[in-house]
Amino acid sequence: MPERLIVQLSYLIKMEEDKSKSGTRREFVRTAGKLLMAVPVLALPVILARKTDAKGFVWQIDPYKCTSCELCKSSCVMTPSAVKCTNAFPMCGYCDFCPGFLRQGAKTYDTSAENQLCPTGAIVRKFVEEPYFEYTIDEKLCDGCSKCVKGCADFGNGSLYLQIMHNLCVNCNQCAIARVCPSDAVIRVQSEEPYMRKELKKS
Amino acid sequence: MKKLNKYLPYIVLVVLFIWHSVLYAQQQRFPRPEFESGYTFPTHQFLNQRGPMWEFMDVAVLIGALLVTSWLALKKRSRQGLIWMSVFSLAYFGFYREGCICAIGSVQNMSMALFNDSYAMPLPALLFFTIPLLFALFSGRVFCAGVCPLGAIQELTGFRKVRVPQSVERVLAVIPFVYLGLAVLFAATESQFLICRYDPFVGIFRIDAPYTMIIFGSLLLITGIFVNRPYCRYLCPYGVLQNIFSRFSIRHLTISPAECRNCRLCETGCPYDAILQADPATYVEKPAEPKKKSLVYLIAIPVLAAGFALVLYNLAPSLSVVNNNVKLAREIRLEKEQGIKAVSKGAIAFFESGRTEEQLFEKEQQVIARFRKGAPWVGIFLGLSFGIGFFRLTVRNIRTIYEPDRGRCYSCGKCYKFCPVKINN
C-alpha cells in the first residue's frame, strides 16, 4: 500500500511539473488555433459578400429548351411531380382537333377517355364557340408527363408547356430534375421572377 | 434594267416580308382565332412559394436553437433537455421544413459561389453555413447535439450501445474527409450536389422518396439503433468542419460538473468512444523514442499532402465523369469511334438541339481542366488532414482527468449520468 501511495504522489508531482513546462506551449497552440479557425469563418462572409443574394434562386423550366422527354414526371422528389403543364392562351389555336388533347390514331374525335392523350385526364375541354374549344389543365390531376406538350409542339402551336409550380416545389439545393434533364432546360432563376412564361415569339 | 435596279430594294423587301410571314405562320401553325362571342383569354395564376421572410425565420430558429442547446449542454447539463431539443429540431428542421435548408448541404452552395461567377449564394444558406461553425468555436458541437435534424433523428433512435473497435472507428472516420473533399470539388465545378443527392433521411422527412433513398435511410437508422449516429460518424461532411472547429472551442461540455475524481465510471459511458481516459498513475513516458517518431510523422505531413495532390491530379479526368457534359461527350465519342449507338435521353436531346460535336468536346475539355485545377487542392486537404491525424497519434500530454475528445464529442450529454460528482446549488 505505501508503494502505491508513493507512485501516486510522484505522479502528482510530475503532473505539476508538466503543467508548468508544457502548459504555456499547449496554451499557445490552442490560442493560435482558435485565431486561425476564427479568421476564415469571419472572413468568409466578407469574401462572399459580393456573391451573396438575399433573395436567392428558384428552379424553373425554360420552355424553349424543354424537349418534353417525360423525365420531369419521374425525377422530381415530390410525388406527384411539382412540374405541371400550363397553357399559354394567347398562343393557343383553340383547335377542335387538339393534338395535345386527343390521342393520335383515335377512332373517333370526342372526349371519351380512350381518345384522350393525357393519361390522367387532366386536360379540361370547354366549348367556346364554333369551332373553338378552350383547353385548361387541372393541376391537381396533372403529373407533368409532358405527353400533351409534345403533341402540341409537334402538331400544334406549342402553347402547352411545363412549369415548376412554386407552391408545390420544395426548392431543393440541386433540383433532382435538373440533374437528369437532358437539354439543361431546368435552370436557376431569380426568385422575384419565378416563372418563365411562354409568349408569342415574333421572330 | 435601270427600272429593275430602282425597284430591286422594294422587291427584296417584299420577298423578305413574305418570307418572314411564312416563318411566323410556321411557328404559329394555327392562327389565334378571332372570337365573336366576346371570349377573353383566361389569365393563368401562377402561385408563389412562401416568402423570403420565412427563410430568415429559419435562421432565427437556428440561432435560438443553438443558444438553447449550448445552455442545456454546458450550463444546465440536462440530457432530458437535449432530447427535447432534438425532438424540436427534428420536428421543425426535419418534418416541417422537410430537411431543406440544412447546414450540411450549404457547404456545396458555398463552394459553388466561391468558384463560379454566375452563382450568388442565398444569404440564408450562408448564415446556415457559418453560424453553427461559430457556435462550434464557442461551445463545441452543439449543432450536432440538438439542432441538426439528421443528428436528431439518429440521436432519438440510438437505443442500444455497441462499441466499435477503435481500429475500425479510425479507418471509417476517414470517409467524411474524402466525402467533403469530393462534394466541394463537384460543387465547385458545377457538376453535382453530392451531399444532397445522398442525403439519407430527407426521404423520411418528406415521407416520399425514391426507393433507393428509403432503403439507404432505413438501413442507416437500423444500424444506428446499435452503432449510434452512423451518418454523423462515418459520412457527414459538415461534421468534419465541426470536428476541426470544435477542437479549438473556447468552452466545451464537461463530463463532470466539478472536479473529475478519476473514478472511471464514465469510461464506457460514451457510445462514440469520445471520452479520453486519464492515464493510469503508473504511466511513464519514454521521451526519446516518441520524439524521433513524431519528427518522422511531422516530416510526413507535407509528403502526404504532395502525394495526395498528385494522386488526385491524375484522378481528375476519371472524377469528371460526374459532370453531365463529360458523360455525354464520352457517349458521343464512343458512338463516333466504336459505333456503339448513343441512346441515352441526353444524347437524343443533344442531336435535337443542333449543338455541334466540337462544341461539346470543347466543353468537356473545359470541365476536365477545371477538375485538374481543383482536384490537387482536395488532395492537399486530404493529405494535410491525414498527416496531422497521424502526427497527433505520436504526441500527447499526460492526461489527469477524464474529458471528452473535443473533436469527436457530439455534446449529446449521455455521459452526465455516469458521473457521481454532484453539485448543489
Domain borders along chain A are 1-52, 57-190
What percentage of chain B has pLDDT greater than the value 70? 94
Q: Are residues B245 and B313 in the same domain?
A: no
pLDDT band at A5 (very low <50, low <70, confident <90, very high): low
- Asked if residue A3 has pLDDT above 70, the reply is no
- Nearest residue of chain B to residue A54 (CA atoms): B123
Instruction: For residues B318-337, give the mean pLDDT.
Output: 91
Could you report the per-residue pLDDT of A97-114, keeping only the tens digit for each?
A: 889 999 888 887 778 888
CB contacts, 8 Å: A47 with chain B: 114
- Phi-psi domain of B161 (left: phi exceeds 0; alpha: psi -120 through 50; beta: other): beta
Residue ending a domain, choose from B254, B272, B297 = B254
Work out the burial of residue A95: count CB atoms within 10 Å of its CB; fewer than 13 is exposed, 13-18 middle, 19 or more buried: buried
Q: Torsion-angle region of residue B273: left (phi > 0), alpha (psi -120 to 50) or beta? A: left
Partner-chain contact B137 A90, CB within 8 Å = no
The residue among A104, A31, A175 whose CA lies nearest residue B249 is A31
Nearest to B351 by CA among B328, B321, B330: B328
Domain that holds residue B388: 288-394
Instruction: Say yes or no: B81 and B167 in one domain.
Output: yes
Cβ contact B49–A167 (<8 Å):
yes
- The pLDDT of B139-164, averaged and rounded, is 93
In a domain, B155, yes or no: yes
Q: How many CB pairs under 8 A join A and B?
A: 186
Cross-chain residue pair B100–A172, CB shorter than 8 Å: yes
pLDDT > 70 in chain A, percent: 86
CA B335 to chain centre: 36
Residues B206 and B334 in one domain: no
Statement: residue A96 has pLDDT above 90? no
Total domains present in chain B: 2
Above 80 in pLDDT, residue B319? yes
pLDDT number for residue B20 = 65
In 3-state terms chain B splits into helix, strand, coil percentages (rounded to 5) of: 65, 0, 35
The confidence score (pLDDT) of residue B303 equals: 96
Give the least confident one: A16-30, A101-115, B147-161, B245-259: A16-30
Q: Residue A138: is its pLDDT beyond 80?
A: yes
Subunit contact A194:B46, Cβ cutoff 8 A: yes
Share of chain A above pLDDT 90, in %: 28
Same domain, B187 and B249: yes
Query: Both B250 and B316 in a single domain?
Result: no
| CA B145 to chain centroid | 18
Contact A171 B49 (CB under 8 A): yes
Question: What is the number of alpha carbons within 13 Å of residue B179 lying toward its C-beta?
Answer: 25
Which residues of chain A are within 8 Å of residue B134 when distances are taken between CB atoms? 41
Does the structure show a pLDDT above 90 at B31? no
Report, as an integer, the average pLDDT of A53-67.
Answer: 86
pLDDT at A69 over 80: yes
pLDDT, residue B23, reads: 59
**Which residues of B fall within a CB distance of 8 Å from A7?**
281-282
B342 plus B220 within the same structural domain: no
Per the model's pLDDT, the better-predicted residue between B27 and A58 turns out to be A58
Least confidently predicted of A62-66, B330-334, B345-349, B416-420 = B345-349
| Cis amide leading into B299 (omega within 30) | no
**Cβ separation B122–A78 shorter than 8 A:** no
Tell me, yes or no, whether B21 lies in a domain. no
Q: What is the mean pLDDT of chain B?
A: 88
Is B420 part of a structural domain of the chain? no
- When pLDDT is averaged across residues B24-32 and rounded to a whole number, the result is 66
Average pLDDT rounded to a whole number, residues A129-153: 91
Decide if B416 is inside a domain: no
**Using 50, 70 and 90 to split pLDDT, how confident is the model at A9?**
low
> For helices B357-394 and B175-188, what crossing angle results, to 10°?
150
Give me the residue from B32, B49, B121 closest to A48, CB to CB.
B121
Residue B225 lies in a domain: yes
Residue of A34 and B200 predicted with greater confidence:
B200
Residue B351 counted as domain residue: yes
Question: If you average pLDDT over residues B276-292, what whole number do you get?
Answer: 75
Number of H-type helices and E-type strands within chain A: 4, 7
- Cβ contacts of residue A108 below 8 Å, gap of 6+? A115
Contact B345/A182, CB-based, under 8 Å?
yes
Give the least confident one: A10-24, B14-28, B358-372.
A10-24
Lowest mean pLDDT among A82-86, B7-11, B140-144, B185-189: B7-11
What's the confidence (pLDDT) of residue A12?
Answer: 61
Residue A203 has pLDDT above 50, yes or no: no
pLDDT surpasses 70 at A11: no
Cβ B47–A30 below 8 Å, yes or no?
no
CA distance A113 to chain B (A): 25
Q: Are B248 and A34 in contact (CB under 8 A)?
A: yes
Residues B249 and B306 in one domain: no
In angstroms, the CA A76 to CA A85 distance is 14
Whether A67 contacts A119, CB under 8 Å: no
End of a domain among B254, B276, B309? Answer: B254
Contact B126 A87 (CB under 8 A): no
The residue written with cell numbers 439528421 in the block is B150
Same domain, B76 and B193: yes
Chain A: closest CA distance from residue B16 (Å): 13
**Residue B334 neighbours by CB under 8 Å, 6+ apart:** B340, B342
Tell me if B400 and A183 make a contact (CB, 8 A cut-off): no
Q: What CA dihedral angle connects A104, A109, A113 and A114, to 10 degrees?
A: -50
Q: Any idea which of A122-131, B306-315, B371-380 has the lowest mean pLDDT? A: A122-131
Q: How far apart are CA B188 and CA B328, in angstroms?
A: 20
Q: Which residues of A touch B247 (CB under 8 A)?
A: 33
Task: Return the higher-pLDDT residue of B52 and A118.
Answer: A118
pLDDT of B107 higher than 50: yes
Name every chain B residue with its beta carbon within 8 A of the beta carbon of A177: none
Q: Please tell me the predicted confidence (pLDDT) of residue B42.
A: 80
Q: Contacts of residue B24 in chain A, CB cutoff 8 Å?
A: 202
Same domain, B239 and B352: no
pLDDT band at A28 (very low <50, low <70, confident <90, very high): confident
Residues B135 and B242 placed together within one structural domain of the fold: yes
Phi, psi of B231 (to 5 degrees): -65, -45
| Residues B243, B141 within the same domain | yes
Instruction: Say what the pLDDT of residue B339 is.
Output: 83
Q: In the numeric block, which cell numbers belong to residue B129? A: 453555413
Using a CB-CB distance cutoff of 8 angstroms, which residues of chain A are in contact with residue B122? 52-57
Cβ contact B69:B146 at 8 Å: yes
pLDDT for the residue numbered A202: 45
The predicted-structure confidence for B50-80, as pLDDT tens digits, reads as follows 666 778 899 999 999 999 999 999 999 999 9
